[in-house]
């Protein structure tokens, strides 16, 4: 069992290192999101397009991709560094009740610029509005509600394919 866990950890670390190298070398990278922390904007299974930008180019509301503990994390920027103090940015998943620990510039990898779900482009907004805001508030407060929401969404997912993002 211990060898299995170690092999899995090595695989995850290798994938992370490859993703970081591709992003730093070519300036863009795509990966499939996992988890529920960015519901309702980003779902597990969505394809994220990340573009390399300088850390000082991100703004509050952008979805930043940070490399931590051998994993990629895409969360919304909720606070920028203060000019007189250390250069720390704060992110938070839309569906999480508390912010992440601060990240520093060398952990910052890029910004999510496009999200594809079931063959269609999902519009990104710097803040949650309307039904997305309401759903985020619900999933922040209840794991049960999140599971029901995900179950119902999967059950009634549309299979139609729409045009990709317009550039």
| Average pLDDT value over all residues in the chain | 85
Query: What pLDDT shows up at residue 159?
Result: 46
Return the bridge partners of 66, or none: 73, 108
Query: What pLDDT shows up at residue 87?
Result: 81
Give the count of beta carbons closer than 10 Å to the beta carbon of residue 133. Answer: 13
Query: What pLDDT shows up at residue 8?
Result: 64
Distance from C-alpha of 147 to C-alpha of 139, rounded to nearest angstrom = 9
pTM across the whole model:
0.82
Residue 50: C-alpha distances to residues 5, 9, 26, 58, 158 (Å): 29, 24, 11, 13, 25
Asked whether residue 52 carries a pLDDT value surpassing 70, the answer given is: yes
Residue-wise pLDDT for 87-128, tens only, equals: 889 999 999 999 999 998 889 999 999 999 888 898 888 888
Residue 163: pLDDT band (50, 70, 90) is low
Share of the chain above pLDDT 90, in %: 39
Enumerate long-range contacts of 24-30, CB under 8 Å, 24 or more apart: 24/52, 24/109, 27/51, 27/52, 28/52, 29/110
Distance from C-alpha of 119 to C-alpha of 34, rounded to nearest angstrom = 17
Residue-wise pLDDT for 60-96, tens only, equals: 999 999 998 888 999 999 999 886 566 889 999 999 9
Query: What pLDDT shows up at residue 156?
Result: 67
């Amino acid at each position: 069992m211990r060898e299995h866990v170690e092999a899995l950890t090595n695989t995850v670390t290798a994938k992370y290192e490859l993703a970081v190298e591709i992003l730093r070398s070519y300036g863009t990278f795509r990966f499939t999101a996992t988890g529920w922390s960015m519901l309702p904007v980003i779902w597990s299974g969505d394809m994220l397009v990340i573009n390399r930008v300088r850390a000082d180019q991100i703004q509050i509301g952008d979805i930043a991709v940070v490399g931590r503990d051998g994993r990629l994390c895409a969360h919304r920027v909720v606070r920028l560094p203060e000019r007189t103090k250390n250069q720390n940015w704060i992110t938070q998943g839309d569906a999480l009740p508390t912010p992440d620990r601060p990240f520093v510039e060398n952990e910052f990898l890029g910004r999510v610029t496009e999200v594809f779900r079931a063959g269609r482009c999902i519009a990104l907004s710097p803040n949650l509005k309307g039904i997305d805001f309401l759903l985020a508030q619900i999933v922040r407060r209840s794991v049960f509600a999140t599971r029901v929401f995900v179950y119902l969404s999967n059950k009634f997912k549309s299979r139609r394919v729409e045009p990709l993002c317009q550039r």
